[in-house]
Amino acid sequence: MNLVLLGPPGGGKGTQAKRLMDKYGLVQLSTGDMLRAAVASGSEVGKKAKAVMDAGQLVTDDIVIGIIQDRLKQPDTKSGVIFDGFPRTVAQAEALDAMLKSMNLTMGHAIEIRVPDEFLIERITGRFTCAKCGAGYHDKYQKPKKDGVCDSCGGTEFTRRADDNAETVKKRLDAYHAQTAPLLPYYEKQGILKVVDGTQDIGKVTADLAAILG
C-alpha cells in the first residue's frame, strides 16, 4: 500500500508518518528530510536547494522528482511508501503517478491532515528534533518524558530547523495555498482523497488515520 499525506507545513505529516511506519511496516519518504541531508552533505543538489529552502519557497520540481525517482529504485520501498511532503505541486503529482504506473504500483490513499493556518506558527516555532535519531518533539505538545533526554534513544542533543521561524513560516504557508492545495482536487478527482482533523491531539489523529488504512 502506498499513501500520500497532504497538509500544511507543521500540520503533523512527519509525526504521523513515523507512527504509521511502525504500525504498518511502511517506508516514510520525506523530501524535506532528503533535501536537508543533501544540504548537510554539501552535494550539488544541496547547494541548489539551500537558499530556496531558507526563503520558504519550493525547490524545483526537477530536483525533487529526481530524488524520489532514485529512492523508489531501492527495494525497501516495495512493501509500501508513505509520501510525506511530496508531491507538493500538480506537476510533481503527475510525475509520481507516471513513476508508480511504470513500476506497476498504485496510490491507495491521499489523506489531507487538515489544520487551519492559525495553529501552524505555534506548531512550527515549537518544533525540535533529536540530533541522534531524528525523533520529533514540540516545546508544548510533545515534550520528551524527561527534560532534555530523547525518549527513543536517550540522546541529549536536539536541533531546530533554520526555516522554522515565524517569518519563513508565512512564506511556506503562501506556497502551500498557492502551489500545494491544488493537489486536493487532483486526488479528489481520482477518488482517493480522505480528510482527517489535524487539530486533534496526536494520538487521535493517528487513530483516525488507522481507521482509514484499516
Does position 107 interact with ligand ADP (CB under 6 A)? The reply is no
Question: Could you tell me the CA-to-CA distances from 105 to 2, 85, 88, 150, 157 in Å, in that order?
Answer: 8, 19, 20, 37, 39
Of 132, 161, 170, 194, which is the active-site residue? 161
Task: Give the interface segment with Zn ion, choosing from 31-39, 65-73, 133-141, 196-204 (CB under 5 A).
Answer: 133-141
Find where cell 505529516 sits: 13
201: burial class by Cβ within 10 Å (0-12, 13-18, 19+)?
Answer: exposed
What HEC string does 92-149 produce?
HHHHHHHHHHHCCCCCCEEEEEECCHHHHHHHHHCEEEECCCCCEEECCCECCCECCE
Q: Is 161 a catalytic residue?
A: yes
Grid cell, residue 111, equals 489523506
Question: Could you tell me the CA-to-CA distances from 135 to 2, 62, 93, 127 in Å, in that order?
Answer: 23, 29, 28, 11
* φ, ψ (nearest 5 deg) of residue 27: -100, 130
Q: Which of 15, 36, 18, 13 is nearest to 28 (CA)?
A: 18
Does position 24 interact with ligand ADP (CB under 6 A)? The reply is no
Per-residue contact flags (x/-) with Zn ion for residues 33 to 62, judged by CB under 5 A: ------------------------------
Of 13, 36, 50, 123, which is the active-site residue? 13
Q: Which of 143, 149, 120, 141 is nearest to 202 (CA)?
A: 141
| 205 membership: H or E segment, kind and range | helix 202-213
Q: How many residues bind Zn ion (CB under 5 A)?
A: 8
Per-residue contact flags (x/-) with ligand ADP for residues 129 to 158, judged by CB under 6 A: -------xxx--xx----------------
Does position 165 interact with ligand ADP (CB under 6 A)? The reply is no
Nearer to Zn ion, 135 or 205 (CB): 135
Does position 11 interact with ligand ADP (CB under 6 A)? The reply is yes
Is residue 46 within 8 Å of residue 35, measured between CB atoms?
yes
Nearer to ligand ADP, 49 or 193 (CB): 49
Instruction: Pick one of ligand ADP, Zn ion, none as the site partner of residue 111 (Cβ within 5 to 8 A by kind).
Output: none
Min dist CB 160 to ligand ADP, Å, is 10
- Tell which positions 146-205 bind Zn ion, by CB under 5 A: 150, 152-153, 155
Q: Is 19 a catalytic residue?
A: no
The residues assigned a catalytic role are 13, 88, 127, 161, 172
Which residues contact ligand ADP (rule: CB under 6 A)? 7, 9-15, 31-32, 35, 52-53, 56-59, 64, 85-86, 88, 92, 123, 126-127, 136-138, 141-142, 172, 198, 201-202, 205
